[in-house]
Amino acid sequence: MKVPLKARLLLPAAAWMALFQLLPLALIVLVSVCMRGQYGGVQWRLAFGSYGRILDPLYVPVFSRSLAQALLATALCVLLSFPISYWMARLEKRAQGVAVLLVLIPFWTNILVRLYAWMFILGRTGLVNSAAAGLGLWRDPLEMLFSQKSVLLGLVYGHLPFMILPLYAALEKIDWGLVDAARDLYASPAQAFLKVVLPLSKPGLIAGSILVFTSIPCDFATPDLLGGAKNMMVGNLIQQQYLVVRDWPFGSALSLFLMAGIGVGVFAYLRQERAAA
């Protein structure tokens, strides 16, 4: 049998995807429509009860909190990334490589370790509070951990590179002669930015926003470590269903619901962007 080269080259990737992406996904779908086993696990009988439970008012705050945090964190990432990415894009070519490396270096350390570092920084007896006490700024330690804000901080911190890099890639491609052209055509520096740089950086903004926005609801380590129990997000809820409550069908249903929600959101966003362009 003669298999074309293109197909043969695609085979390993296709096999990988089938084995480690499609198969588990199919399993999740299957589990989500089964019944919960009495002592955890799954009872292989068709039941759609898990989907009904998603709409339980009990979980509404979890979903709305996740959405709000994701939106806020994405917006903050955009605001923080733009100056950094812009600065990187205007560096000399070799310095740009160093800058990209610096952005990537935190990834060499596990996210959990980095989150513990944040706990150490923000905690009651942490770096900030003890430094403030030492400088006489305030005496009673500030309660910074285990709040929405500390979770937001952690989310922005953890996801910033996912915004910086695509935005940098888009800015790096801009022909800076276009800014000269805009300035020559009576645009002030601010107008040149708004009319030329910003529209041309849009592909990077879109890619970065999608990366950040879609991965935040799935994050459970950050809300867990920096937020505590009362700042739970969808990711924590799913993790709980699997590891604590041992209600796999509900956990699976939640996962699929989240996937669908993100998928629809991204699709609608891209469609609207395309219509605007």
Closest CA to 179 of 93, 96, 171: 171
Residues engaged in binding another protein (CB under 8 A):
175, 177-178, 180-188, 191, 195-196, 199-200
DSSP classification of residue 141: P
User: For the chain, how far is it from start to end, CA to CA, in angstroms?
Assistant: 47
Shortest separation between residue 184's beta carbon and another protein, angstroms: 5
Q: Provide, rounded to whole angstroms, the least separation between the CB of residue 207 and another protein.
A: 17
Alpha-carbon distance values, 252 to 30, 124, 217, 259 (Å): 9, 37, 15, 11
**Residue number, 143 or 180, with CB nearest to another protein:** 180
Nearer to another protein, 94 or 139 (CB): 94
Q: How far is the CB of 188 from another protein (least distance, A)?
A: 6
Shortest reach from residue 166's CB to another protein, in Å:
18
| 276: its two tokens | 């605007």
193: left (phi over 0), alpha (psi -120 to 50) or beta: alpha
User: What 3-state class would DSSP assign to 40?
Assistant: strand
Compare residues 203 and 261 and give the one whose CB is closer to another protein: 203
**Token couple for 121:** 């920084």
Alpha-carbon torsion, ordered 37, 42, 46, 52, to 10 deg: 70
Nearer to another protein, 149 or 195 (CB): 195
CB 92, min distance to another protein, A = 13
